[in-house]
């Protein structure tokens, strides 16, 4: 396992009171009626203790009942400003969404924007969203997209395709964007967008529990030559950074004894050593 501490670009904090409606019901269906979203501030601190730092995401998704306020994230990351970087979240359908984003950055010292169309119920190409993208570009904020599937039945899958981000990347070439979870299950579509645009990245978070998908995703990223745009992330609490590292190192064991290609060690080591803070301009 890698000796140096890794940076986790994708983590959540939340209290149970931040969950309601469709999100909570779907979580209880998936993980039982006594489902506990184990990502309180103390649980987060313990999970990222071995990391060099982490991005902590707010979520403004009243449409599906997942609302982690910007203030809550800001209060926590302020306790460790050299290691923790909070991303604001703003539902683009809110009146004066751009103003809300600017306030979250300037008054709460947050460092990026988290968007999740499948939870927030908007289409990325809806005209009402473009002022928000322009504001993010103006403020030099990276935008982290959950552009992939979800366990929440009510979430609109048709608004969650990675290819929908291509026109945004063309309209805002300086805007740094990250497609979370390699856009699972649309890994190929994600790679096609990331490959085209110098300022687009993707993270490997949440893929560890599906090692065959994670293996194929990384092999494909190498075949398309975008392996240096892969960011390490866990999607805590869905998995911890340590679990994600173990998954990553287990991939080559899975194909041991077969003639399938191994993931090159140097690709993994470069991903783990990547300076995400500098790359995304978080400082
Ligand atoms: Zn996430």
Tokens describing residue 209: 């529990």
Task: Using the predicted structure, report yes or no on whether residue 7 has a pLDDT greater than 80.
Answer: yes
Tokens describing residue 241: 């950074």
* 3-class state of residue 9 by DSSP: strand
CA–CA distance, 7 with 267 (Å, rounded to integer):
16
What is the pLDDT averaged over residues 31-43?
95
62 CA distance to ligand 1 centroid (A)?
A: 16
Residues with Cβ < 8 Å from 70, sequence gap 6 or more?
Answer: 58, 60, 86, 88, 89, 90, 104, 108, 110
Q: Which pairs with CB-CB distance under 8 Å and at least 24 residues apart come from 67-72?
A: 67/18, 67/20, 68/12, 68/13, 68/14, 68/18, 69/18, 70/104, 70/108, 70/110, 71/108, 72/13, 72/15, 72/18
CA dihedral 23, 121, 44, 16 (to 10 degrees): -30
Task: Using the predicted structure, report yes or no on whether residue 1 has a pLDDT greater than 70.
Answer: no
224 CA distance to ligand 1 centroid (A)?
A: 25
Q: Report the relative pairing of strands 177-179 and 84-89 from DSSP bridges.
A: unpaired
Q: Which of left, alpha, beta for 149 (phi over 0: left; psi -120 to 50: alpha)?
A: beta
Tokens describing residue 204: 């490997």
DSSP state of 224: T
Q: Give the burial class of 132: count Cβ atoms within 10 A of its Cβ; 0-12 exposed, 13-18 middle, 19 or more buried.
A: buried
pLDDT of residue 4: 76
What is the pLDDT averaged over residues 141-149?
97
258 CA distance to ligand 1 centroid (A)?
A: 33
Is the separation of the CB atoms in 108 and 75 below 8 Å?
Answer: no
Percentage of the chain beyond pLDDT 90 is: 99
What average pLDDT does the chain have? 97
pLDDT of residue 248: 97
Query: Which domains occur in the chain, in start order?
Result: 7-279 (3.20.20.140)
In the block, residue with structure tokens 């003639």: 259
In the block, residue with structure tokens 């923790």: 84
pLDDT of residue 3: 60
237-272 tens-digit pLDDT: 999 999 999 999 999 999 999 999 999 999 999 999
215 CA distance to ligand 1 centroid (A)?
A: 20
238 CA distance to ligand 1 centroid (A)?
A: 8
10 CA distance to ligand 1 centroid (A)?
A: 6
13 CA distance to ligand 1 centroid (A)?
A: 10
In our burial notation (b when 16+ CB lie closer than 10 A, e otherwise), range 90-109 reads bbbebeebbebbbebbeebe
251 CA distance to ligand 1 centroid (A)?
A: 22
In the block, residue with structure tokens 């993980």: 31
């Amino acid at each position: 396992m890698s000796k140096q501490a890794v940076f986790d670009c994708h983590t959540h904090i939340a209290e149970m009171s931040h969950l309601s409606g469709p999100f909570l019901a779907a979580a209880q269906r998936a993980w039982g009626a006594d489902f506990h979203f184990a990502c309180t501030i103390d649980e987060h601190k313990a999970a990222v203790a071995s990391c060099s730092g982490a991005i902590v995401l707010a979520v403004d998704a009243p449409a599906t009942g997942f609302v982690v306020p910007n203030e809550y994230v800001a209060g926590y990351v302020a306790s460790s400003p050299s290691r923790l970087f909070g991303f604001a979240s703003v539902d683009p359908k809110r009146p004066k969404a751009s103003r809300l984003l600017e306030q979250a950055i300037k008054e709460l010292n947050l460092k990026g924007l988290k968007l999740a169309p499948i939870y927030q119920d908007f289409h990325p190409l809806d005209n009402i969203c473009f002022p928000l993208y322009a504001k993010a570009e103006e403020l030099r904020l990276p935008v982290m997209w959950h552009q992939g599937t979800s366990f929440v039945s009510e979430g609109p899958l048709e608004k969650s395709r990675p290819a929908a981000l291509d026109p945004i990347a063309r309209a805002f070439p300086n805007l740094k964007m990250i497609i979370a979870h390699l856009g699972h299950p649309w890994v190929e579509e994600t790679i096609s967008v990331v490959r085209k645009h110098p300022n687009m990245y993707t993270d490997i978070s949440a893929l560890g529990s599906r090692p065959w998908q994670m293996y194929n995703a990384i092999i494909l990223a190498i075949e398309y030559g975008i392996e240096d745009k892969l960011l390490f992330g866990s999607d805590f609490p869905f998995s911890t950074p340590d679990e994600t590292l173990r998954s990553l190192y287990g991939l080559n064991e899975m194909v041991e004894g077969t003639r399938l290609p191994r993931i090159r060690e140097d690709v993994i080591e470069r991903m783990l050593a990547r300076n995400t803070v500098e790359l995304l301009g978080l400082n």
